[in-house]
Amino acid sequence: MVWKRYVLAFAITAAIFVTAFYIASRLDSARVADIRATEDSISIDILSSETQFELLGNLDCQTIAQNSGLSDELNSLASQLSVAERNLGDTNPEVIQLKKQYSLLEIKDYILLQNITEKCGTKPVYVLYFYTNSGTCTDCSRVADVLTYLRSEYPGLRVYSFDYNLDLSALKTLISLHKVSGAALPAIIVNNRAPVYGPQTLESMQTLIPEFATLATSTQATSTSGY
């Protein structure tokens, strides 16, 4: 019996495991870089829309409304963040940082939407959705599923999702402005109305959003993440 063979086999096996770990880590890093690049791109787009809004005021609402649709990009970003959170864990500092940046972008897009609505008289349909990652919130993921499904049915629906417990002052301000309680999450706010808490079915959500009657339906698939 040759002991050297046992040691060599162990070393090679361990090396394969280390290589697998390295490749997986590199791909996760590439994903994080991808998300960061998308966030930067969206950030520039929002800044551009804000600048355009300030330049044009309400003189050319049609142009502003056409160029302010960042909802799809944000929702795609949310899906990517879900993947990063699944792979790296929701306590990973890099993931938390990306989520903060994402939440800020959402808030900026939401404010821009409010301004356009006010000045141009548009009638968007939007939902602020607050969820929690602490503990197991089955209702949160189910409400996310319902919103994802509704977005695929009504592409005009805008969904802004926020991790209620994210340590971000702008988010805390938004929460206090809308008087959202963290005791009974998930919570949804439709078009700035009072928060509605707890689980929702497809029918109850459709009742909460009567504006669906004004939105065009589509079979085109879009997505909303579990955020």
Closer to other proteins by CB, 113 or 209: give it: 209
Instruction: List residues bridging with 217 in a β-sheet.
Output: none
Exposed (0-12), middle (13-18) or buried (19+): which is 159, by Cβ within 10 Å?
buried
One residue of 47, 199, 210, 214 binding other proteins per CB under 8 A: 199
Site for other proteins in 15-44 (CB under 8 A): 16-17, 19-21, 23-24, 27-28, 31, 34
Mark residues 67-86: x for contact with other proteins by CB under 8 A, - for none. Answer: ------------xx--x--x
In the bound state with other proteins, the residue whose beta carbon lies nearer, of 10 and 214, is 10
Choice between 74 and 113, CB closer to other proteins: 74
Q: CB 63 → other proteins: shortest distance, Å?
A: 29
Binding status of residue 149 toward other proteins by CB under 8 A: yes
Considering the complex, what minimum distance in angstroms separates the CB of residue 176 from other proteins? 30
Site residues for other proteins per CB under 8 A = 1, 5-6, 8-10, 12-13, 16-17, 19-21, 23-24, 27-28, 31, 34, 79-80, 83, 86-87, 141-142, 145-146, 148-149, 152, 199-203, 221-223
